Amino acid sequence: MNRHSPKTAALLAYDADLLSPAGAARIARHLAGCEACRAELAAIRAYETLRREASAQRWREPDWAAMEARLRREAREVAGAVRRERAGARHALWGGFAAAAAVLALVTGGALWPAEAAPTERPDAAALAAAREGAPREARVMLVAGHATADERPLTLDATVREGALVATFPRSTVHLRLADGTGFLLGDETRVTLARSRERATQLTLEQGRVTSRVAPLDAGARYEVRAGDWVFTVRGTRFAVAHLAGGVVTLSVADGTVDVRDAEGTVTSVTGPGRWNSSPDTVAVHPSVLVAPVGLDAKARDWPALRVPRLEGLRGLEIDGLALPIAGTIAMRASPGTHRGVSFALSGAPTRFEFEVSPEGSSLDPTLAGAPEPDAAPSHGVLAPSAVRAVVARGMDGLQRCYRTALLRRPDLTGQMTLRAWVAPSGRVTRATLSATTPLPWLSTCVENQARRWSFPPPGGVESLALDVPLDFASD
Amino acid sequence: MDAPDPLIRSAQGGDEAAFHALFVRHRSDVTRTVQRVMGPSPDVDDVVQDVFIHVFRSLPTFRGDSKFTTWLYRLAVNVTRMHLRRGRSRPQIADVEVPEAPTADAPSDSPEARAECSERLAVLYRLLEGIGEKKRTVLVLHDLEGRPAKEIGELVGAPVLTVRTRLFYARKELYAAIAGEPRLKALLSELGPDVHGRPALGAAVPDGPAPAAAAKRPPGGER
């Protein structure tokens, strides 16, 4: 059996007729006996066809008008800042800036965050009572990755979430729910949603915090699907959209297709047509949620599919199954069609491992070694950093953070607030990722602070996974 | 170096209308670049908007050391890559929409042929997702966007030789992926080499992915 690696350059030259007659004849003789080279040559030709088709491909034009409206605010802000700077305006630059470092408890069992971390408060009794009005409504859990609860009881695959229940997802977790009418919605991590149904035949999700992405099945006349977030109600009858309820009460909307009506507390309605975005705080450029739409299987056909279970994967950064990226902080359970599926796992270094696996009609469990997960013995626990070492590094990084804040004050002299900087420290001591716990009126400030934190270097904590730290920050000017 | 564009000078001086004019002038080209690098995605509009937000914020510090368009497309590529990298680290569900088939070059194609073409392109973009981000960016900019290697080097901040190496390995990986893609079986059968006495190539295409050919070294130059 001929298993040698095809010589791509020679095949390209042969296909382009660049070889001498003798050289071309040699390649032709070789091709006659080499299946791998014939396959490669066919792929080379197929790619040329695909390349030509893709180059001539026409793309959808963005909604320029909507984009212009949003960019106008940004242009006004930047142009104003430039003019003020040129005019030599002086602002109170720096008052107090205090920061203290705190070490997050080390993760047990391999997850970055402790599984016991509970969501914050429950909804008040009045909200729950209101949610229970109207006819009963239920949703079925079609996917749960990590940890999620309904009324503080853990959610499992196929569990039923009844009307009025508060569904909460934990850090690095996600859950997908499906209504009887085929509508599906995906909750991002650290999200809190109450499912309800109003007297007016409207399915209602009350989004207290976090992100919910919905694909709404076409509804009967008179039926509606609503997401409530803060003072706003988002109403549709069939579309794909995502709503995020951010810290500070800012609510943002992304619409992939269809139209979403946004109703404020006074009853004023604004229509947002996809692709489009909306922001409850027009003076800021807020973070909009991505419209992540569940594949058809999760919404419509998956009800009777077998269960696929994925154990907690140690020593990996990420996992995709059939193109679906899933958090791996905990176990995963989902419905999957019987047959062959493809997966990609990502090592801590980012290197991908592609694999295939079978889901039997009776259900299957993914073999972690197939996904390239290190053997349990080869995956030691996380390393350790002494609090004094953390404080020393953070103290040295204060200058950079202060520069960020001083620059931000040039644009927003009234900018103050408290937030938490979360940093992931690799076994080498390098900060691989840093995020702020809340959005700021100036996204630039978040980027600046996060970039500064990524420059920090700690003593190597050891272990195989990143260590998470929380650093409380207090932005204040006198 | 070219004389500074008056429009850019106006924007740097705080002229709000100049920002808008720059957006109108360059939005189509920026969008095309973002779409090529990202592939079909519902997030394209968001990324294009983010590109211009970065442009507006960075413009006051643009010194003119490089051409404005080079600076602009470099920013567009970087913002898109940042977006793609972020996508790797957060929960998401792929939403590959079938792109529109080309119509300008094939006005007489039947609806069936155009549908087949759209499906092939959807497969191509799915396969591209499996290629490392740096290599994919170079391949898309070169093969689909038609940008020369030297310009790509400026956009991605890499020497021309590195660009060519990435291009070679990206194509190599893509060839292997195409060869093992059951949904391209018909195209592969049609284009396979005509070998006397040999079965059609399509018959040899397995249902699963073919073993990727391990490339030892890149060729000296581009095709």
Token pair recorded at residue A110: 């391999």
Q: Summarize the confidence of residues B52-63 as an average pLDDT.
A: 84
Q: pLDDT averaged over chain A?
A: 73
Q: Write the pLDDT tens digit of every residue in A294-344.
A: 443 455 566 677 888 888 887 777 787 876 778 777 788 888 878 888 888
Distances (CA, A) of A66 to A69, A76, A253: 5, 16, 13
Find the closest chain B residue to A146 by CA distance. Answer: B91
% of chain B with per-residue pLDDT over 70: 71
Q: What pLDDT sits at residue B193? A: 65
Q: Summarize the confidence of residues B181-189 as an average pLDDT.
A: 83
Q: What pLDDT sits at residue A75? A: 82
Q: Write the pLDDT tens digit of every residue in A355-376.
A: 888 888 888 888 888 887 765 5
% of chain A with per-residue pLDDT over 70: 74
Contacts of A379 (CB under 8 A, 6+ apart): A110, A314, A315, A373, A464
Q: Is the pLDDT of residue A478 over 60?
A: no
Q: Residue A474's Cα: distance from chain center in Å?
A: 27
- Total CB pairs under 8 A between chain A and B: 230
For the ranges A140-154, A178-192, B88-102, the lowest mean pLDDT is seen at: B88-102
Neighbours of A131 (CB within 10 A): 22
Distances (CA, A) of A379 to A63, A373, A465, B122: 49, 9, 9, 38
For the ranges A51-55, A416-420, B37-41, B99-103, the lowest mean pLDDT is seen at: B99-103
Map tokens 């840093």 to a residue.
A434
Q: Write the pLDDT tens digit of every residue in A217-272.
A: 766 666 778 898 888 888 887 677 888 877 667 788 888 777 888 888 877 888 88
- Distance from the Cα of A143 to chain B's closest Cα (Å) equals 12
Q: What pLDDT sits at residue A144? A: 87
Q: What pLDDT sits at residue A149? A: 87
Q: How confident is the model at residue A93 (pLDDT cuts 50, 70, 90)?
A: very low
Q: What pLDDT sits at residue B205? A: 34
Q: How confident is the model at residue B108 (pLDDT cuts 50, 70, 90)?
A: very low
Q: Write the pLDDT tens digit of every residue in A156-204.
A: 888 888 888 889 888 778 888 888 777 788 888 888 898 876 555 678 8
Q: What pLDDT sits at residue A248? A: 66
Q: Is the pLDDT of residue B203 over 60?
A: no
CB contacts, 8 Å: A62 with chain B: 27, 31, 44-45, 48
Q: Is the pLDDT of residue B185 over 50?
A: yes
CB contacts, 8 Å: B14 with chain A: 79-80, 82-83, 86
Query: Under a CB-based contact definition with an 8 Å cutoff, are residues A319 and B89 in contact?
Result: no
Cβ within 8 Å, pair A59-B171: no
Residue B178 contacts A, CB cutoff 8 Å: yes
- Widest CA span in chain A: 87
Map tokens 């212009």 to a residue.
A68
Residue B119 contacts A, CB cutoff 8 Å: no
Q: Summarize the confidence of residues B186-200 as an average pLDDT.
A: 58
Cβ within 8 Å, pair B198-A38: yes
Q: What pLDDT sits at residue B138? A: 93
Q: Write the pLDDT tens digit of every residue in A8-50.
A: 888 888 877 777 888 888 888 888 888 888 888 888 888 988 8
Q: Write the pLDDT tens digit of every residue in B150-182.
A: 889 988 888 989 999 999 999 999 999 998 888
B209: left (phi over 0), alpha (psi -120 to 50) or beta: beta
For the ranges A53-67, A375-389, B91-105, the lowest mean pLDDT is seen at: B91-105
Q: What pLDDT sits at residue B111? A: 64
For the ranges A18-22, A103-107, A451-455, the lowest mean pLDDT is seen at: A103-107
Cβ within 8 Å, pair A53-B126: no
Distances (CA, A) of B182 to A41, A102, A477, B177: 16, 53, 62, 10
Q: Residue A66's Cα: distance from chain center in Å?
A: 24
Q: How confident is the model at residue A88 (pLDDT cuts 50, 70, 90)?
A: low
> Within 13 Å, how many C-alpha atoms sit on residue A213's CB side?
25
Q: What pLDDT sits at residue A200? A: 57
Phi, psi of A418 (to 5 degrees): -115, 145
ipTM of the complex: 0.75
